[in-house]
Amino acid sequence: MSTDRIDFISAYCDRWCERCAFTDRCSAFACKIAEGMYGDLADAIELAVGAPHPVEGTPRETAGATLLAEFSDFEPSDQELAEFKREEKVRDARLDVAPTTRMATTYMLGATAWLTQHHDGLVTRADPIVREAVEIVGWDAYLIGPKLHRALYGRDRSQNGDDGCDDHPVQTDWNGSAKVALISLERSEAAWRVIVEATGDRTASALADAAGNLRRIVLDEFPQAMSFIRPGFDEPRR
């Protein structure tokens, strides 16, 4: 078991574990592998991150049981639950019509439609550089929208006084989420340009433009996002 984990590294990654240099230091990856082996979350957490040291004379409790126990005593009232659901419904409706959300959805639908039509042919016949570009846009097509939604959601909660945790001017969850989306948009735009150069496809060219335009919009909305320091990835000393 590795004891050199990087806290929260998986919170601001692109989930492309197969290409990540930090999987051996990622608790989320270790839990994912362990859960696949055991099928039980508590056992998986213990295997991945270890069990806590027992206090003398007390039973030895697993790390998974400790984490799950933190939530066992919390049960909102019916009124609190109804109010929360109402607020979240209003928030979701507000975010669904936000320009950034609409642009991200349009991009995702366009990218996935293009990939459905062209992916197999390019992957089997194209050179390695083009295949790599296709894999990048395919991966990011499903990542960008959720990351932007998380960024918009977190910022909205903060602006409406619903989240008292993220009070740092830069190191906020929404800036971190927006940064992941921005990195993916930048590499996706570059990947689309590679595809366009190889195929001359006009739709691919339009998708490259769309990725670039969306990236500029996100930068305007989250001007501090690229200054966010992602655990591990933006810390050379790690």
Helix (H) or strand (E) holding 9: none
For residue 67, pLDDT beyond 90 = no
Highest mean pLDDT, choosing among 77-86, 120-129, 161-170: 120-129
**Per-residue model confidence (pLDDT) at position 56:** 52
Question: Which tokens is 36 given?
Answer: 């696949």
User: Model pTM?
Assistant: 0.81
Of residues 152 and 58, which shows the higher confidence score?
A: 152
For 28-46, write each residue's pLDDT tens digit. Answer: 898 888 776 666 666 655 6
E strand residue ranges, the chain:
none
- Cα 131 from Cα 127, distance rounded (Å): 6
pLDDT at 64 over 60: no
Helices 173-199 and 99-125 meet at what angle, rounded to 10? 40
**What does the block give as tokens for 98?**
């936000």
Q: Long-range CB contacts (< 8 A, 24+ apart) of 167-176?
A: 169/224, 170/224, 170/227, 170/228, 170/229, 171/228, 171/229, 172/228, 173/11, 174/150, 174/222, 175/151, 175/222, 175/224, 175/225, 175/227, 175/228, 176/11, 176/12, 176/225, 176/228, 176/230
pLDDT value, residue 164: 61
Lowest mean pLDDT among 1-10, 65-74, 149-158: 65-74
The whole-number pLDDT of residue 2 equals: 47
Residue with the larger pLDDT of the pair 134 and 4 = 134
Tokens of 227: 């200054």
